[in-house]
Chain A
Amino acid sequence: DAGVTQSPTHLIKTRGQHVTLRCSPISGHKSVSWYQQVLGQGPQFIFQYYEKEERGRGNFPDRFSARQFPNYSSELNVNALLLGDSALYLCASRRDNSGANVLTFGAGSRLTVL
């Protein structure tokens, strides 16, 4: 079975640009979460979507947005990129909204903002 897949794996942008990151969850998983991992730190929660609705949002500015599609895949969008947005963006899926279902992570999208 395919795991959580993310694209692109690496990308370079300049300040002020926009970026879209994509995530396909494990088949049968209806919940997708996004995390930002800055170098040397632990992952920080950005969003969670379940059944195509936003169920939680972390402490990130409105420049960050996301959505979940009918097939449960998800996009993370970041507008007006700043140097500080350079990070590994991780997507994780789980079967439903229960905390007892553990997160399965993708390999991440490495974003570099110049």
Chain B
Amino acid sequence: AQSVTQPDIHITVSEGASLELRCNYSYGATPYLFWYVQSPGQGLQLLLKYFSGDTLVQGIKGFEAEFKRSQSSFNLRKPSVHWSDAAEYFCAVGPRGGGFKTIFGAGTRLFVKA
């Protein structure tokens, strides 16, 4: 079955500290991989995506993610968190070669303390 697992329901980090949000997926073949962010009451905004090539991808707002095929993981990182990064983060996978269904994880809520 196709699925995305985000093991951490919520994470609290201090402002200025580093951040890593975990994501594992189960899929028939290597899918397209995405991270989205959702602020309260808002839709989802794309942070970054992985299609092919370099397994370390850079996104907006200083975020990066690393694809590890052997671990079926796509973890999101940021070296120094800002208070404005507090939000919910969703990892998602989508089919290559066309298709319609993007599967989302349950999300990780990030809290930032001063």
Contact = CB atoms under 8 A, between A and B. Distances in A.
A99 B90 contact: no
A102 B44 contact: no
Interface of B: 4, 31-32, 34, 36, 41-46, 49, 51, 90, 92, 94-107
Contacts of B36: 105
B22 to A, nearest CB: 14
Contacts, number: 66
Given A42-B107, A43-B90, A102 B97 contact: no
A43 B90 CA distance: 9
Contact of A41 (B51, B95, B97, B106): B106
21 contacts: A4-B43, A33-B102, A35-B104, A41-B106, A41-B107, A42-B105, A42-B106, A42-B107, A43-B44, A56-B99, A56-B100, A56-B101, A97-B99, A99-B32, A99-B95, A100-B51, A104-B46, A105-B36, A105-B45, A107-B41, A108-B43
A97 B95 CA distance: 11
A99 B34 contact: no
Nearest to A33: B100
